[in-house]
Amino acid sequence: MLVLASASPRRRELLTQAGYQFDIHPAYIPEDPHPDEDPIAYVTRLAREKAQAVYNKLSPADPGVLVLGSDTTVTLDNEILGKPENQADAARMLRLLSGRTHRVITGVSLIGAARSQTAAEVTAVQFLTISEAEIAAYIATGEPMDKAGAYAIQGHAARWIPRIEGCYFNVVGLPISLVATLLDSPPLDI
């Protein structure tokens, strides 16, 4: 049985769209980066910790459980831009992204009795220059408040993104082709 260790509606939608059947058991772990932690190390650590926490909870009752953990962040100049703390923080992030290209990194981890696999996907996202009025109007929609980097590519912010290099679904929150590759790979001898 596949279990998604996330409450993210976007991840749920993407897995469903790709044809997977799964249960949902969100992991609740601290998501603060360690001092000087590299963004890729950060998201892969969180993905692994989420998957492991849910696996440890469910495996005694179901030894065949396979848990998918995931975490996404936005980085600019190697600075991690997580979910904004408030509207001022969202505006700060959007100003940083305006007119620049940043990276979206998602870590994914599969934990099961016969496997422990973790990987990351990186996508470059170009932003147009956005005005203070556009930033204020976007924040007023509420959309940026629970999104890494304070935007959703599949929402209103799409109008500011002329191009990406890499996986679109990664920017939404789950690189489906990477997940499929991990799920289709043979279990490891661990």
Exactly one of 62, 71, 77, 146 is catalytic; which is it? 71
Enumerate residues 6+ apart whose C-beta is below 8 A from 94. 130, 135, 138, 139, 144, 150, 151
Angle between helices 87-97 and 132-140 (to 10 degrees): 140
Q: Which amino acid is at 171?
A: V
Cα separations in angstroms, 110 against 28, 61, 115, 131, 180 = 17, 18, 7, 41, 11
71 is catalytic: yes
C-alpha–C-alpha distance, residues 119 and 180, integer Å: 12
Report H helices in the chain: 9-17, 39-58, 87-97, 132-140, 168-172, 176-184
Annotated catalytic residues are 71
